[in-house]
Amino acid sequence: MHVQPGDRLNIDDPILTLETEKAAMEIPSPVSGKLIELYVQNGDKINEGYDLCLMEIAETDTKVEEKEKNTEPQKKNETIKKEKSTQITQAQRKPIESKKSDREFFNTSVASVHASPSVRKLSRELGVDLNQVNGSGMKGRILPEDLKSFVKAAMSGNIVGVQSALPELPVVDHSAFGDIESVPLSRIKKISGPRLQASWINIPHVTQHDEADINYLEQLRLDLKKSYKSDGISLSILPFIVVAVSQLLKQMPDFNSSLDEKNSALIHKRYVNIGFAANTEKGLMVPVIKNADQKSLKEISQELVKLSEDARNGKIKLEDLQGGTFTISSLGGFGGVGFTPIINPPEVAILGVARAQIRPIMIKGKFLPRLILPLSLSYDHRVIDGVGGIQFTTALKQMLENPESFLPEETSDG
C-alpha cells in the first residue's frame, strides 16, 4: 500500500501496486480527496469487483468533473455535486509497502506524462520528476532508458537545477547536544567520496566470501623474505596475491573488463593493470601496477614499495593512478575478519583481503593449526553472475594454497 487512512491524494497519486504472476501495475487515484478507509491490507488476494478503499472527494475535484461532463444531463451533474465519497475497485494484487515520508518525497505530479506504471514506479524510487524527462518513445512516451540517462546526466552535473535522485538526509544541529569540532575533509576524500557513492548506487554489488589456507604460502614468504631484505624489500603477502590474481584474470577475462557507455557490450582488456589500496594521511589512494601479468614476484614487490611510498609522500604521478583493470584492497595489516569492498569503476570487480588468522582445521581426522586468509570478492552483477564469482574465488583459493601453481621458479628454488 502507498497510502494510509487520513492521507490526502491528488489525481494520479498511487494508491497501491497490483501484482500478478506476469506483471505489476500501480492503481492511481482517479480523483482528488481524502482517504477515509482501506478495505484491503498488504498481502491480501482479491478479485475483480472488490472494494479497495473509501474516499471523500475534494470540492475542487467535483467542480472539475462538472466542467468535463457539462454535456451530460443536468440531473447527473447535480448527483455528482452531492456525492461525498467514491469506491475504487481493481484486480488481484500483491502490494509493496512504503512509508509516508518517502511517499511525500517521491510523489510528483505526472498526470500529463506518457509513461508506463513501471517507469512511474522507477521514477519515484529514484526521486525524479517525470515532467523534466524527455521521452524517446512514440508520442514522447518515456522509456526506462530515458529515465536512466536522465539520472546519469544529473549525477554528472550535466543538468542544472535538477532535484537529487536520492532523498536528502535530515540536517541535524549537533551543537545542540554538546561541544563539537568541524574537521574539513581532505581533498582526496572529497574526490573519492562522490565516486564511491556513485559506484554503490549505479552498480549492483554482490560480494562472495571465501578462505584460503596459506600455510605453505606463508612459509615460502618467510624463506624469500631473507633474500628480499638485502634489496630493501619487506616482503608481505600482497605481492603473492597480485601475481596469482594477474594470472587468473588472463583465464577469466570477464573480471578484467568494463561495460561500454551504453551498457550493451563488454570490453575485454588484453592488459592486466592491478590497482591496490594504499593508506595515506590524506586518505585512501589506489596506485596501479601496470602489466602486472608480465612481471615477476620481485618486480611487483619493488613496485608496490615504490608506489606506496610515493603515495604517502604526496609524490605519486597521475599516470600511476590511472588505467587499472582490477583492484585489490588489503586491510590485513590493520585487522578485521572480512569486509565488503566497493567496486572502483569502470572496473567490474575488486578483491578484499583481511587479516590471516591461525585456526584449527580438520585434516585427516585431526585438528591442526593452519593460517587462514579471508577473501572477499565484490563484482558487478550485470557482468558476472554468482557462479562466476564462486569460480573466481575457488580458483584463487586453490592457487594460494598451492604456490607452485603460479610461482614455479620460487617454489623450485625453495
Q: Which residues are catalytic?
A: 381
Which grid cell sits at 50? 472488490
Cα–Cα distances (Å) from 164 to 125, 189, 287, in that order, read 12, 21, 32
Instruction: Measure the CA–CA gap between 352 and 378, rounded to whole angstroms.
Output: 8
Q: How many CB atoms lie within 10 A of CB 412?
A: 8
Cis previous bond, 346, omega within 30: yes
- Residue 18, beta-bridge partner list: 25
- Alpha helices (H) along 230-289: 238-251
Instruction: Measure the CA–CA gap between 278 and 287, rounded to whole angstroms.
Output: 7
Instruction: Measure the CA–CA gap between 192 and 18, rounded to whole angstroms.
Output: 41
Which of 335, 286, 326 is CA-nearest to residue 308? Answer: 286
Which grid cell sits at 167? 532523498
- Residue 246 dihedral angles phi and psi, to the nearest 5°: -60, -40
- Residues near 358 by beta carbon (within 8 Å), at least 6 away in sequence: 369, 370, 371, 372
- Residue 357, beta-bridge partner list: 372
